[in-house]
Amino acid sequence: MLIEALLYDGKSSKEHKVTLDFTFGRRVKIDSHGIDVALEDIIIESRLGNTPRVIEFPNGVRCKSAENDKLDQVLLDFNLNKSKTHKIESSLVLTLGSVFLTIGFVWFMLTGGANYTANFLANILPQSSLNEMSELTLKKLDENLLEESNLTKIQHNIIQAHFKKLANGDSRYKLHFRSAPEIGPNAFALPSGDIVLTDQLVALSRDKEYRDILGVLAHEKGHVVEKHSLRMAIKTGIASVIIGYVTGDISIIASTVPTILVNSSYSRDFEREADAHAVKEMKKMGVSTIYMAELFESLSKKYESLENNSTVGSLMSSHPLTSERIEYFKSHAN
C-alpha cells in the first residue's frame, strides 16, 4: 500500500515529501531516500484523533502521515498491534460510558466511597501511632489553650465514677479534666481514647448527679470507637485529591468550597453516630437521655445567637442543629 508522508531525516529540519510503500514481503520502502527496511523495524505511533502520526525508522528518520485510515488498514493487513485507546475514544457508547464512570466515581467517593476507604485505612493503622499522635496533640493543647481544672473534689469524683462505668475496664480510655476559658463548654476525644472535659461544660450541667455529663462522655466514647477523627482526616484528603484532579486549573476555588461542604456534612454524620452511641450506652446503664436533652437546651440558650433554623445554618454548621438533637434525645427518654 502507498501512503503519502513527510520525511525528516533527524539530522536537520529539512522536510521532504515522500511516498511510503508497504510491500507484501513485510517491508517498507521509500525509494526517493533509498530506505528499505523490515516492517518490524519501524514503530507506528498510536492513533490520536486525526493528528498526523509519527512513523519511526531506524537511524533517527521519522515520517509523519495524516492518512490515518490507510495506516490503520496497514496495521490490520499486516496483523500488527493496534492501540485500543483510539477505539474507546472514537466510540460514542464508550466515551459516554467514561463520562458516567467518572461522574459516578466522583459522586461515590464524595458520598459513601470515601467512608469505606477511610474505614479500611483506619483499621490497618497501628494503635501505637494513634497513641503517639494523641499524646502530642494533648500536650500542644495544654501548652496553648487548656488550664488546670478547678472542679471540686466532689464533682470530680462523681464524674470519674461515671466514666469508670463507661470505660468498663478498658484501659484505653482516660478522662482529663481541664479548664478552657477560650474554648468554652466542650468535650473532645482523641483517637487514643483520651477524653478531655472542660469545666465550662460541667458548669452548664443542671443535674446534681451529672448524668448529663455521663451522656457527653458516652458521646465522646462513640467518637473513639468509630475512629472519627482519623476517618475525617482521610476523607478530607480523598475529597481534595479527587476534586483537584478533575477540575485541574480552577482548583483554587473548586477544592476549597466543596471540601468545606463535604467536611461539615461528614462531621454531622459523625455527630449523629456518636449521639446514637450515647443513647445506647445510657440505656444500657439505665440513665434517662432526658438529661442530655436538658444539657443541650442550656447549651443552646448560651449560643442562641449563633444557631438558627435557616437553611444556610444547617448546611454549614458541623453539628446537627441543636434543636434536632434535643428532639432526638427526648424521643429516647422513655
Partner 1 sequence: MEELTRDIDGVESLQKKVHKIETKIDELQDDTNRKPKHNFKYFEFKGNASEYFRIWIVNIALTILTLGIYSAWAKVRSNRYIYANTYLNGSNFEYNADPIRILIGRIVVVSLYALFLLFTQYMLMPKVAGSIAFIAFIAMPWLVRQAVGFKLRNTSYRNVPFRYEGKVSSFYGFFILHFFLNIITFMLIFPYSYVKFKKLILNNSHYGDGDFKFSGGTGDAYAIYIQIFVWSTLLVFGVVLFFGFIGAGVGAVFGDMFTSFKSLIGPEIVPMLVGAGVFLFYIPFIFWNKGFTDGYFSNFVREKTTLNNAPLKGEIKPFKLGVISATNALAIFFSLGLLFPWAQIRYLKYKLEHTAFACEDYDQFESHGYVTGSTVGEEMVDFFDIDIGL
Query: Where on the chain is the footprint of partner 1 (CB under 8 A)?
Result: 6, 8-15, 48-52, 54, 60-62, 64, 85, 88-90, 94-95, 97-99, 101-103, 105, 125, 129-130, 132-133, 136-137, 230, 233, 237, 245-254, 308, 310, 312-313
Tell me the C-alpha distance between 261 and 45, whole Å.
Answer: 45
Minimum CB distance to partner 1, residue 223 (Å)? 17
Minimum CB distance to partner 1, residue 101 (Å)? 5
Q: Do the Cβ atoms of 28 and 21 come closer than 8 Å?
A: yes
Minimum CB distance to partner 1, residue 281 (Å)? 28
Which H or E element spans position 272? Answer: helix 257-284
Tell me the C-alpha distance between 302 and 297, whole Å.
Answer: 9
Minimum CB distance to partner 1, residue 102 (Å)? 5
Q: Which is nearer to partner 1, 53 or 211 (CB)?
A: 53
**Cβ atoms within 10 Å of 197's Cβ, excluding its own:** 24
Minimum CB distance to partner 1, residue 189 (Å)? 17
Q: Which is nearer to partner 1, 39 or 233 (CB)?
A: 233
Minimum CB distance to partner 1, residue 7 (Å)? 9
Minimum CB distance to partner 1, residue 146 (Å)? 18
Q: Which is nearer to partner 1, 38 or 94 (CB)?
A: 94
First to last CA, the chain: 87
The DSSP bridge pattern shows strands 174-179 and 16-23 to be unpaired
Q: How far is CA 317 from the centre of its chain?
A: 19
Minimum CB distance to partner 1, residue 2 (Å)? 22
Q: Which is nearer to partner 1, 1 or 254 (CB)?
A: 254
Q: Which is nearer to partner 1, 53 or 332 (CB)?
A: 53
Minimum CB distance to partner 1, residue 5 (Å)? 12
Half-sphere exposure of 146 (CA within 13 A, CB side): 20
Q: Closest Cα partner for 270 from 311, 234, 295, 242?
A: 234
Q: Closest Cα partner for 280 from 319, 329, 231?
A: 329
Q: Which is nearer to partner 1, 9 or 273 (CB)?
A: 9
Q: Which is nearer to partner 1, 240 or 289 (CB)?
A: 240
Burial-class residue 278 by CB neighbours within 10 Å (0-12, 13-18, 19+). Answer: buried
Half-sphere exposure of 135 (CA within 13 A, CB side): 7
Half-sphere exposure of 241 (CA within 13 A, CB side): 9
Ordered DSSP codes for 40-57? GG-EEPPP-TTPPEEEE-
Tell me the C-alpha distance between 236 and 224, whole Å.
Answer: 18
Q: Which is nearer to partner 1, 126 or 169 (CB)?
A: 126
Q: Which is nearer to partner 1, 90 or 157 (CB)?
A: 90
